[in-house]
Amino acid sequence: MDLSRRPRRNRKSDAVRQMVAETQVNTSDLIFPLFLIEGSNKKEEVASMPGIYRWSQDLLYKEIEECMNLGVRSFDVFPSLSEDKKDKMATEGLNPEGIYIQTLAGIKARFPECCLMTDVAMDPYSSDGHDGIVENGQILNDETLEVLGKMAVVQAQAGADIIGPSDMMDGRVAHIRAALDAAGFTNTSIMSYTAKYASAYYGPFRDALDSAPKFGDKKTYQMDPANRKEAILEGELDFQEGADFLMVKPALAYLDVIRTLKDNFDIPISCYNVSGEYAMVKAAAEKGWLDGERIMLETLLSMKRAGADIILTYHAKEFAEWQKNNR
């Protein structure tokens, strides 16, 4: 055969393949979501997320230290609260003495060099299990912004580096930006959950936090999985309102949306490799149906290739361990 183009030449050895690899995943691209529970000396595995735990504050600090030693430096902490701490207005989310804010401050005191991201939404503290204020079965938008703005400021006071509004209310980035700036936190970043879809992939997360909605679903505020162009509208609004990063969530079933935001906006794009995506990999690996490690690597790579600069992933620590042993 007379072939002048033989693409296989660039695949002939591992050294050549690595040299021509277009995409790489690095531990420094990853943000590790962590679940916080009340009490002390507690480490409870999330049933639907093997290898992922709900930590009490003391053990969470130890876990963060281990991660930092592996090169994972960015964390997103989510609180799991008992029902008696929840109410309609998510009051506990504004409590500077509460377990969440205290722990954020504790993390920053112990690990000032880490990048600490926080979650702004009402659901972990809401007796309705929704991301906004509920009145007569409706989620109120503008009234919710007031709560979110205050929540962001309390978190910034505790030392948050990046505020992550995960609620999908309209206008929240502008409102949170203004609230942060008015309180002097002009240097606190916002990573907006820009294209957050109403997804069944959040199931294990809601188990971990006991945060499932008490009635209905989140379809009046989270996006319809059928829509891609609407993500551009959300991106434009968040960009104009001052977001520093735009996020797509979930990730694996929305790689086209990641690419769309990457092509339309010149600020860093992140994606959230969510709980259900993690659970699927672990379940199949436990059954011996898939090679869990290779699936993890391929999945993270696909998100980078789609255009994500940053990946929030429950695989972060596992990936860091892999990278340490293999590169």
Residues binding ligand PBG (CB under 6 A) = 119, 121, 123, 131, 166, 202, 205-206, 218, 274-275
Q: Which C-beta is closer to ligand PBG: that of 65 or that of 247?
A: 247
Q: Is position 196 annotated as part of the catalytic site? A: yes
- Annotated catalytic residue within 85, 86, 196, 304: 196
CB of 203 to ligand PBG, least distance (A): 7
CB of 315 to ligand PBG, least distance (A): 12
Q: Which C-beta is closer to ligand PBG: that of 58 or that of 170?
A: 170
CB of 108 to ligand PBG, least distance (A): 21
HEC per residue, the chain:
CCCCCCHHHHHCCHHHHHHHCCCCCCHHHEEEEEEEECCCCCEEECCCCCCCEEEEHHHHHHHHHHHHHHCCCEEEEEEECCHHHCECCCHHHHCCCCHHHHHHHHHHHHCCCCEEEEEECCHHHECCCCCCEEECCEEEHHHHHHHHHHHHHHHHHCCCCEEEECCCCCCHHHHHHHHHHHCCCCCCEEEEEEEEECCHHHHHHHHHHCCCCCCCCCCCCCECCCCCHHHHHHHHHHHHHCCCEEEEECCHHHHHHHHHHHHHCCCCEEEEECHHHHHHHHHHHHCCCCCHHHHHHHHHHHHHHHCCCEEEECCHHHHHHHHHHHC
Q: Which C-beta is closer to ligand PBG: that of 107 or that of 122?
A: 122
Q: Is position 249 annotated as part of the catalytic site? A: yes
Q: Which C-beta is closer to ligand PBG: that of 3 or that of 245?
A: 245
- Annotated catalytic residue within 86, 249, 262, 317: 249
The closest residue (CB) to ligand PBG is 205
Q: Is 22 annotated as a binding residue?
A: no
CB of 18 to ligand PBG, least distance (A): 31
The residues that are catalytic are: 196, 249
* Residue ranges at the known binding site for Mg(2+): 234
